[in-house]
Amino acid sequence: MFHCVRGSNSNTRTFPDTAIVEPHASHHSNRVEDFRLITGTGKYAADWNLPGQLYAWFVRSDRAHAEIVSLKVERALKHLGVKRVFTGEDAVRAGYTKFFVIVNYPGRGGQPIKKPARPSLAAGRVRHVGDAVAMVIADSAAAAQDAAELVEVEYRDLPAVVSVEEALAPGAPQLHDDVPGNLPFDYESGNEEAVKAAFQNAAHVTKLRLEVSRVAPSPLELRACMVQYEPKDESYHVYVCIQGINMMRKQLSFATDVPEDKLVIHAQDVGGSFGQRSAAYPEYCMLMLASKELGKPVKWVSTRSEGFMSDTHGRANTIQGELALDRDGKFLGLRLDWIADMGGYLSATGSASHTRNPSACMTGVYRIPALYGRFRLAFTNTVPVAAYRGAGRPDIAYVIERLVSQAAAELKMDAAELRRRNFIPREAFPYKTPTGSTYENADLRGVLEKALKVADWKGFAKRRAQSQKKGKLRGIGISTVIENTGAGLFPKDQITLECSADGTVTAYTVAQSSGQGHETTFAMVVADTLGLPLERVRLRESVQSKGLIGNHTGGSRSLVGAGSVCKLAAQKLIDQGRSLAAQELQVEPSQVEYAHGAFQARGSKKKIGLAELAKKQPLSVMAEATVGSTFPNGCHVAEVEIEPETGTTRVVSYNAVDDAGNVVNHAVVEGQVHGAVTQGAGQIFCEKVVYDRDTGQLLTGSFMDYCMPRAGLLRAINVEDHPLPSANNALGAKGVGESGCTASLAALANAVVDALRPLGAQHLDMPLTPAKLWHAIQSAKKGKN
């Protein structure tokens, strides 16, 4: 059987960001970068090599929680080819004991987040299976791996805890001495008293306990890094898979105290990310230390099994949700008790993804007067959790949309009608939510009606009856969602455009594609604005020497931010060229017109092209803009058919209608939606990281045990646009890279629950595997009998 590993080479795979421009832009169906990538001529982190390089291998803990009693490296040092073995003592001595955490806002009672130390190699204690305890450096990867097996570690086992509820319980094993109760952050949002009043006045309350399961992002490209220290200027050249050079520099600088201007990040192609590649991992810091000490480049390439136990995981939330309604089905209040699993340590993005992000969209697409959420982060003896495609937004959408559909069922009301009654009306935008967000614009009813029409919502009863005749259970699910795109960590996005003497225009950006198709869509923006053929525009990413400020790729924001600045830069290039052309044409700049790559004096046949101007003097501009969050939204409708005798589920129909603002390239947008929906389906039907409750051992450490979605899981996805342009950027774009994840979790889960509802089956937590569904069906049948 073929596993479906997520990667970067196809626009129908799963990639985390957007591809969106002006409605009049030319719509190329093929991506510029595809031929290079599918013919094997891409260059990924593991493809970089330097003369004289050494190789690293990490010794990892096989215990979930233990004290390191002793660590002996003598035998490893004697192995042929070994140059050095580093341990936690080396990391502590270098001061490599801290990592960047985005959260800088207070929690309940004004309390700050607690950030315990995290040495780049475990010192004194290990806190999850896979925690690195030593690094072996040798003149070949094989020698380093062989020598790693000679490192002797003696542990004193400690009790392990892998459940967030158990981790927060009194008497639980404590992971960090300076974080009592395993609670590093307790955050709240909304008005608790207003919600209490709303629930007291409610005619009906719907309650659900929901688990958004822990998943392993599993990009196609394995994590890899090589570092070369340059003593002449005390700089470090880091060759690594990233989401953006500036984000990586900031984190590495924080972790190692090396100034950012001494860190040079190199990347060309990145084979998938989904949030997992944005972090500066401990291994990278240790490679920096080794390269400086040994005076040679040091390279490390992870294995897939290492990835499962050291690359950050995603989601991992347990939520108690309550929705209060009046007698007419109007929403009065929403209350959430949210516990997020952080694993053994805080990651850069995990804490924000599980507090601020879900809080921003806690009202969903509905006018809910009173909201309150308590968000607790918990340490467990598991792999750290970070942002994963959607970064908390799919989680909050899943909770809200499951509650709404459950409420509709309890009230015996059509699920679409309940949503209609509670939508934020179009005239209310821009809409200030009770938790402080401002939604810019949306046509929620229009999106819903379009989705219901393409999904033939009214014809479902007939299709369900046809399935019943075949002995199958059929269900339909709906999800109407809104999400905030990432505002970015840096204050602005900059783009440089350079026109060469051959007429080629090159755009430079610090946003890094990991499959989103930037080389196509960014180039299309520039080409459309300049009136040039697409083949005359090329994109260069992550060229640090240009000194650009800008944000990494993530949060569906790249085209919204950097992409919109591409348009501004192209307009600026025209303005610069107009002044130069006026001199050549001997007229005033106001008399110069521009079209299709050439400047012409008004009322004259005299003209000069961009290339001709560039031959006379360099044509180069830099443009910038500060672009905040946009709010893409959509409605997805899924239909499933379940075989009662096996529990096997087949997705028989999936329709997605999204408002992503103006679209640059619909084929790329479809690819983004297809991939994200497939990731959502994977989480609903098969993906889950599992740890042994007693020992903390990872039970799903390979693709033999961790089930990835296959190509046949979703045989067809219909994608429709319903654009309402954003006013906060030059393109009118909103973002689309994460919408498929955000909407699909609830749409698919609601469809399965709807299929089981005639049997009286209750809510089931993801993943909805055939075995789990079969047992639920059998139990429901026995209950009826």
Q: Domain 314-486+630-761 belongs to what topology?
A: Aldehyde Oxidoreductase; domain 4 (3.30.365)
Structure-token match 């209750």, residue found = 762
**Mean pLDDT, the chain, as a whole number?**
93
Residue 450 pLDDT class (50, 70, 90 cuts):
very high
Asked if 148 contacts 38 with a C-beta cutoff of 8 angstroms, the reply is no
Report pLDDT digits (tens) over 614-645.
999 889 999 999 998 899 999 999 999 999 99
Decide if 670 contacts 719 (C-beta within 8 A).
Answer: yes
pLDDT reported for residue 199: 98
- Domain 488-625 matching CATH 3.30.365.10: the answer reads yes
Cβ atoms of residues 343 and 382 within 8 Å: yes
326 pLDDT exceeds 70? yes
- In the structure, what pLDDT confidence band is assigned to residue 469 with cuts at 50, 70 and 90? very high
Q: How far apart are CA 437 and CA 168, in angstroms?
A: 30
Residue boundaries of the structural domains of the chain: 45-158+226-306, 314-486+630-761, 488-625
Segment 109-136 mean pLDDT:
97
70: left (phi over 0), alpha (psi -120 to 50) or beta: beta
Q: Is pLDDT of 676 > 90?
A: yes
The pLDDT confidence band at residue 684, using thresholds 50, 70 and 90, is very high
Residue with the bigger pLDDT between 531 and 27: it is 531
- Angle separating helix axes 739-756 and 770-784, nearest 10 degrees: 30
The pLDDT value recorded for residue 715 is: 87
Averaged pLDDT, 574-587: 93
Residue 487 near residue 629, CB atoms below 8 Å: yes
Question: Looking at residues 220-228, what average pLDDT do you find?
Answer: 97
The arithmetic mean of pLDDT across residues 720-748, rounded, is 94
Sign of CA dihedral 589, 594, 600, 602: negative
**Mean pLDDT in residue range 119-136:** 98
pLDDT of residue 203: 98
Q: Is residue 781 helix, strand or coil? A: helix
What pLDDT score does 628 carry?
86
Confidence of residue 361 (pLDDT cuts 50, 70, 90): very high
Phi, psi (rounded to 5 degrees) for 608: -150, 135
- The answer to whether the predicted template modeling score (pTM) of the entire model surpasses 0.85 is yes
CA gap 343, 118 in Å, rounded? 13
Q: Which of 416-425, 566-575, 580-589 has the lowest mean pLDDT?
A: 580-589
The pLDDT value recorded for residue 7 is: 57
* Six token digits for residue 323: 């929705």
Q: What Å distances lie between residue 187 and 348, 383, 396, 506, CA to CA? A: 17, 22, 15, 45
- The number of residues making up the chain comes to 785
End-to-end CA distance of the chain: give it in Å, rounded.
39
- Name, in order, each residue with C-beta under 8 angstroms of 635's C-beta and a sequence gap of 6 or more: 447, 448, 450, 451, 452, 478, 479, 480, 481, 656, 657, 743
Q: Is the pLDDT of residue 14 over 60?
A: no
Average pLDDT over residues 727-747: 94
Structure tokens at 385: 């959790």
Between residues 487 and 477, the one the model is more confident about: 477
Q: CA-to-CA distance for 521 and 538, rounded, in angstroms?
A: 10
Structure tokens at 293: 């000490």
Q: How many CB atoms lie within 10 A of CB 222?
A: 18
Q: Which of 168, 156, 214 is nearest to 384 (CA)?
A: 214
Determine the pLDDT at residue 761.
79
For residue 106, CA distances in Å to 178, 187, 355, 356, 780 come to 18, 8, 11, 11, 46
Enter the DSSP assignment of 563. I
C-alpha distances (whole Å) from 79 to each of 90, 296, 566 are: 20, 19, 54
Using CA atoms, how far residue 655 sits from 95, 406, 456, 726, in Å, is 52, 21, 10, 23
Whether 488-625 and 314-486+630-761 are alike in CATH topology: the answer is: yes
Residue 6 pLDDT: 60
- CA-to-CA dists, residue 482 to 407, 452, 683, 725, 739, angstroms: 20, 17, 20, 15, 8
* pLDDT score recorded for residue 762: 76
pLDDT-wise least confident of 254-258, 290-294, 317-321, 487-491: 487-491
pLDDT at res. 25: 40
Max CA distance (Å), the chain: 94
- pLDDT tens digit string along 166-198? 999 999 999 999 999 999 999 999 999 999 999
**208 and 402 Cβ atoms separated by less than 8 Å:** yes
Question: What element of type H or E holds 574?
Answer: helix 564-585
Rounded CA-CA distance 188/356 in Å is: 9
pLDDT at 210: 97
Selected from 3.90.1170.50, 2.60.40.10, 1.20.1430.10, 3.40.50.1820, the CATH number assigned to the domain covering 45-158+226-306 reads: 3.90.1170.50
Q: 78 in helix, strand or coil?
A: coil
> What pLDDT is attached to residue 11?
33
Distance CA 565, CA 493 (A): 7
Looking at 438-586, which runs of residues are DSSP E strands? 438-439, 473-482, 493-499, 505-509, 537-541
| Structure confidence at residue 461 as a pLDDT band (50, 70, 90) | very high
Flag whether pLDDT at 61 surpasses 90: yes
pLDDT at residue 410, rounded to an integer: 97
The DSSP result for 315-352, as a single string, is EEEEEEEEEEE-TTS-EEEEEEEEEEEEETS--TTHHH
Q: What is the pLDDT of residue 22?
A: 35
